[in-house]
Amino acid sequence: MTPTEDHSQQAPPKGPDGQPQIIIPVKTGLLARLRTYFLTGILITAPIAITVAIAIWFIEFVDSSIEPLVPARYNPETYLPFSVPGLGLVILVIFLTLVGFLTANFIGRQLVRFGERMVERMPVVRSIYGALKQIFETVLAQSSTSFRQCVLVEWPRRDLWTVAFVTGHAQGEIERRAEGDLIAIYVPTTPNPTSGYLMYVPKRDLKFLDMSVEDGLKLVLSGGLVVPPDTAAKVVTSNEDTPQSLPDDRDQKSAAG
């Protein structure tokens, strides 16, 4: 009888020391399944609950700050037997939109410039205002490419790679004194990306990533647990699976000519 004919006669597997190993089947009990279901429920409901809680807190904070400024005769809650949640937020959005509309014309721009000249005469206030204005213009400007690219930088030493965000090119005195094309990057800390380091790195030393800034922030906040999908790999795979198209007749004629 060959060994392949009767599997019951085979010897048990041996360990590194040559002794037979005893394989104990792992059984999933009721408590283990309940624990898995409980953790799955937390993973599903926790992000939703935290998001709803933050949204409610923000709406209540805006309402409590804006509604006292509204005169009672213009407040709908004066005539209604119940409170209107989000009323302060709606008023704030309308006010900001109206301010943007007024400052878009010539008179509004002149008023803004006059106010900025007044602020520039204040020693301490002008520094704070100038820094905040530059930050908001950089983040909110539609034409800006800052904070829209993720890169890998070899930091804090060789063979260690860190996720960073491009904030722009070197300008002013830094550009004049530096050699080569320097890129300003922001290296955030985990899990608090609001603190980090500003570094000017040669462009050749950066690896530009295809992931969005939002995916990069998720990666930093989660400490590497939430890894975004590799979209470039999917595109390469789909291109390999797609048959190549035939050359156009116009291309053939131009090549023949």
Q: Is the pLDDT of residue 257 over 50?
A: no
Q: What is the pLDDT of residue 85?
A: 85
Arithmetic mean of pLDDT over the chain: 80
Q: Is the pLDDT of residue 17 over 50?
A: yes
Average pLDDT over residues 124-153: 76
13 against 74, higher pLDDT = 74
Tokens of 26: 């792992």
Average pLDDT over residues 188-211: 90
Cα–Cα distance measured from residue 134 to residue 168, given in angstroms and rounded to the nearest whole number: 13
Q: Is the pLDDT of residue 23 over 90?
A: no
Which of these ranges, 62-66, 107-111, 122-126, 133-137, has the smallest mean pLDDT? 133-137
Sequence ranges of the domains in the chain: 106-135, 150-231
Q: Is the pLDDT of residue 13 over 80?
A: no
Q: Residue 183: is it exposed, middle or buried by C-beta count within 10 angstroms (0-12/13-18/19+)?
A: buried
30 against 235, higher pLDDT = 30
13 against 232, higher pLDDT = 232
Q: Is the pLDDT of residue 180 over 90?
A: no
Tokens of 257: 């000519």
How far is Cα of residue 3 from the mean position of the Cα atoms in its chain? 59
66 against 19, higher pLDDT = 66
Q: What is the pLDDT of residue 146?
A: 58
Q: What is the pLDDT of residue 161?
A: 94
Element (H, E) at 188: strand 182-188
Cα–Cα distance measured from residue 63 to residue 59, given in angstroms and rounded to the nearest whole number: 6
Q: Is the pLDDT of residue 232 over 80?
A: no
Cα–Cα distance measured from residue 234 to residue 232, given in angstroms and rounded to the nearest whole number: 5
Q: Is the pLDDT of residue 39 over 80?
A: yes
Which tens digits make up the pLDDT trace of 158-178?
A: 899 999 999 888 888 888 888
pLDDT band at 140 (very low <50, low <70, confident <90, very high): low
One DSSP character per residue, 49-69 reads HHHHHHHHHHHHHHHHHHGGG
199 against 1, higher pLDDT = 199
